[in-house]
A and B are shown apart, each in its own frame.
Chain A
């Protein structure tokens, strides 16, 4: 019962973010992508709200946290008649089977504890449970010098969302927390399916989503990510990138992408590197100079505000740990060799580097496009950031690389797969869909002014 309520609360995240999806975006967004985006915005809203309540000294309760987002969703539903929206694309028999199979394997691996992350027991679960009991971000607990291993200034979004689910369920549910892996993997696949449909025919969009689902199936369980923040981070990063690749010119897409990158920044430190990578890639691949800077500014503003908020909280509560020390690079040939060897071993995923080979072959056959350039740019920047992260370690990074490389490489690898999907191009169905969209966008823009 407790586990069901805990997982049900996480699965209900779209309900907390539905009212936050800009109306001008919901008119062109296919339903699967709308669901994923709403879940992402719901998680961000809950996390920000809980951080603000902690800052203001307001005790968390499930009702206090849920009331605001649910009210916005209710208001949106009350005005639903004006949201045309796009429905569910058809996936076809093969596409449906591939999508279902990849998600079923991920769910099986997670719930049978084959993919359990050590960090769930050492870090994420402990924080969420304590925060829920304390009814806020437990500053005294984080500041206890015996608890240095919990990294007091680590971004709080996942701990907060789990603490919210714990408040609803009555306590933290360790087994159900493993469901974060299949849930956020499923949401990323839904985002890919819906957003790819904007440029591809129905069969192509389903095949693109199935390819991404298969990537997640081959990498996330073996990288032991059930119960840690990596699936959540990958969902925010992947969905933001997909929005820019497939919907860059569409109304509301860039602010949503910016908000999702802000959520990534509040999920893990690595989210900050992704934010920088996406802004740089967007600047390099933008169409017109003016629009390019405007887009980059929007993409940077959201994560910068989120990070500033968290840093201000840490500063006011004397929580600085990692962030209290200026990073320094330790570069020498021996260390570079350790990092490169460790990354190569982590990139294997127990499948003889199959994910990289598949991505490389697909990219060799790719058609050039702006979306392709953007995703490749993000992949290159985040891969470079991964190397830099390991070169900041004052101690020998051999063990650190060994246990984290397969997780850190998930971001550049996912960016490569998004690039491969983006290069697929459209079909006859996609062209007719584009005409439909133009008509629908014009119709929905009129009443909104």
Chain B
């Protein structure tokens, strides 16, 4: 009885190993074409909800080099409009601009708060009389606080 049970156990373990392995492969295939090309960002083949943030991630990469280190900055994006001021879109920027002081957009509306030196608007409009346009493209504008 015991050898038969052991044999059955081994067969189940082997079949289980194969089935679980196959399930991992199916997952990989389901996330897009199998390729050995290096992805552009850590979100390139991720879940579609996260992947939708990839253009913003690429933008932040370029922004990091365009702003002076240590400068205060507010980054506006379509997601930040729908999010709480220090919610996920704020945390997302915080990780990508480690040498800068990222502050939430609410400081722009708070008369008692010190305004940030830069405002970067990605795929969003921005206008504030205190700021002058520094650079502009089809996708973004960078504004700098004018001399007070």
Q: Mark A112-156, 1 if CB is under 8 A from B, else 0.
A: 111110101111011001100100000000000011111000000
Chain B residues with Cβ under 8 A from A172's Cβ?
Answer: 98
Chain B residues with Cβ under 8 A from A420's Cβ?
Answer: 13
Partner pick for B13 among A207, A217, A222, A425, CB 8 A cutoff: A207
Q: How far is the CB of B39 from chain A (nearest CB, A)?
A: 5
Main secondary structure of the interface of A (DSSP, over half): helix
Additional A-B contacts beyond A106-B24, A129-B95, A133-B99 (12; CB < 8 A):
A98-B21, A102-B21, A114-B45, A121-B53, A146-B86, A146-B104, A172-B98, A175-B39, A207-B14, A210-B17, A224-B46, A362-B9
Cα A215 to Cα B22 in complex, Å, equals 11
| Contact call A125/B95, Cβ cutoff below 8 A | yes
The verdict on A197 contacting chain B, using a C-beta distance below 8 Å, is no
The verdict on A227 contacting chain B, using a C-beta distance below 8 Å, is yes
Cα A175 to Cα B21 in complex, Å, equals 24
Contact residues, B29-51 vs A (CB, 8 A): 31-32, 35, 38-39, 41-47, 50
B residues near A (Cβ < 8 Å) are: 5-6, 8-10, 12-14, 16-21, 23-28, 31-32, 35, 38-39, 41-47, 50, 53, 57, 85-88, 90-92, 94-96, 98-99, 103-104
Cα A349 to Cα B22 in complex, Å, equals 13
The verdict on A266 contacting chain B, using a C-beta distance below 8 Å, is no
Chain A residues with Cβ under 8 A from B6's Cβ?
Answer: 425
| Contact call A174/B42, Cβ cutoff below 8 A | yes
* Centre residue among B24, B27, B39 by max chain A CB count within 10 A: B24
Cα A362 to Cα B8 in complex, Å, equals 9
Chain B residues with Cβ under 8 A from A118's Cβ?
Answer: 50, 88
| Contact call B28/A130, Cβ cutoff below 8 A | no
The verdict on A37 contacting chain B, using a C-beta distance below 8 Å, is no
Size of interface on A: residues with Cβ below 8 Å to B? 55
Q: How far is the CB of B51 from chain A (nearest CB, A)?
A: 9
Beyond A217-B20, A349-B23, is A112–B98 a contact (Cβ under 8 Å)? no
Cα A178 to Cα B38 in complex, Å, equals 13
Partner pick for B35 among A112, A116, A224, A425, CB 8 A cutoff: A112
Chain A residues with Cβ under 8 A from B42's Cβ?
Answer: 113, 116, 120-121, 174-175, 178, 227
| Contact call A109/B28, Cβ cutoff below 8 A | yes
Beyond A147-B94, A174-B42, A218-B23, is A105–B86 a contact (Cβ under 8 Å)? no
Partner pick for A149 among B35, B38, B86, CB 8 A cutoff: B86
